[in-house]
Amino acid sequence: MKKIDITTNINGIRLYSCIMNASGALCSTEKELSNLLKSSSGAIVTKSCTDKPRKGNIKPRYFEWDIGSINSMGLPNLGIDFYINFLDGITTNKPIFLSISGLSLEENYLLIQKANSSTKINAIEINLSCPNILKKKEILGYEFDTVYNFLKNVFRLNNKKHIGIKLPPYFNDNDIRNMAFIINKFPISFITCINSLPNGLFINSIKESTVIYPNKGFGGIGGTIIKSFALANIFKFSSFLRKDISIIGCGGISSGIDIFDHILCGASAVQVGTQFIKEGISVFDRLKNELILFLKKKKYYSINNFIGNLNKN
């Protein structure tokens, strides 16, 4: 019986499994990161960090139901120095993605420079899509000119790490085309799409109230309910982006078939958020087994056999 190969390659970064955690899901503290190290995830992604530690928004700020989740976390994190110190002290063969989300463009430049000094970090995932910083009016990923100027400055820095960006969901062709046009101008290694759908609302009908407190109950929606938007963004970006830019799919993964679908639409790897929070660290073993089983049925022996092969009827 031929072995099924679920290893992958994100622009030269080798992962022994194409399944990893999404930034924000159980990856903020030393304990959570240590659990990820021991798990079968193919890489480690940290919580999006800022320069200084942050407590984040008031609680309750996360809620999940059968097909989705809503959050307005507000970037609670231990600060970049903690993440760099922790990561530089570990031994692992898993690639490490440091997620950063500066509160200003200048803070992002500083975070990138600090990350460049780390010996262990393989890639920086710049979060251009956090929907929950209450003082900010816009999500950076929707400000096209600002993103262009920001990336121009990022690639003037002396970068020693792979640089990727995490994008918000886009809902029309032109936005995806325009963002891809901008991205294609820079030596970006990967994009991660999508972050949660911003400005969602979930309510408790009995209590007649919102389920989370910050931002009047509005927050980013994740989980099964957003899978179709993730697939659409992955599929469209894969047709507009330079072929050397990898796509990491994120959004609505709770089964091996969901992973297959993301890869079929053009993702080289996937991130799991809501389902990881729901199920805990064993989710990586279950998803890996389900994916392998499904590939066996399809007679695929490597994810390279079907990446981006969705039939366009």
Least distance in angstroms from the C-beta of 67 to ligand SIN: 18
Q: Are 77 and 49 in contact (CB under 8 A)?
A: yes
Cα separation, 94 vs 37, whole angstroms: 8
Residue span 196-235 as binding mask against ligand SIN, x where in contact by CB under 6 A, dash where not: x-----------------------x---------------
- Tell me which of 130, 193, 250, 265 is the catalytic residue: 130
| Helices H / strands E in the chain, number of each | 9, 16
Region of 109-117, 125-133, 148-156, 230-238 interacting with ligand SIN (CB under 6 A): 125-133
Regarding 24 and contact with ligand SIN (CB under 6 A), the answer is yes
The one-letter amino acid code at 240 reads F
Alpha-carbon distance of 174 to 2, in angstroms, equals: 43
- Looking only at Cα atoms, what is the longest distance across the chain? 57
* Contact assessment for residue 164 and residue 268, using Cβ atoms and an 8 Å cutoff: no
**Segment contacting ligand SIN by CB under 6 A, of 72-80, 135-143, 234-242, 264-272:** 72-80
State how far the Cα of 241 lies from the Cα of 77, in Å rounded to an integer: 32
219: part of which helix (H) or strand (E)?
strand 218-222
Number of residues that bind ligand SIN (CB under 6 A): 14
Per the annotation, the verdict on 129 as an active-site residue is: yes
Per-position x/- string for 74-103, each x denoting binding to ligand SIN as judged by CB under 6 A, each - no binding? xx----------------------------
- Name the active-site residue from 69, 101, 129, 254: 129
Report whether 51 contacts 110 (CB < 8 A): yes
Chain positions contacting ligand SIN, by CB under 6 A? 24, 48, 71, 73-75, 127, 129-132, 195-196, 220
Residues marked as catalytic: 129-130
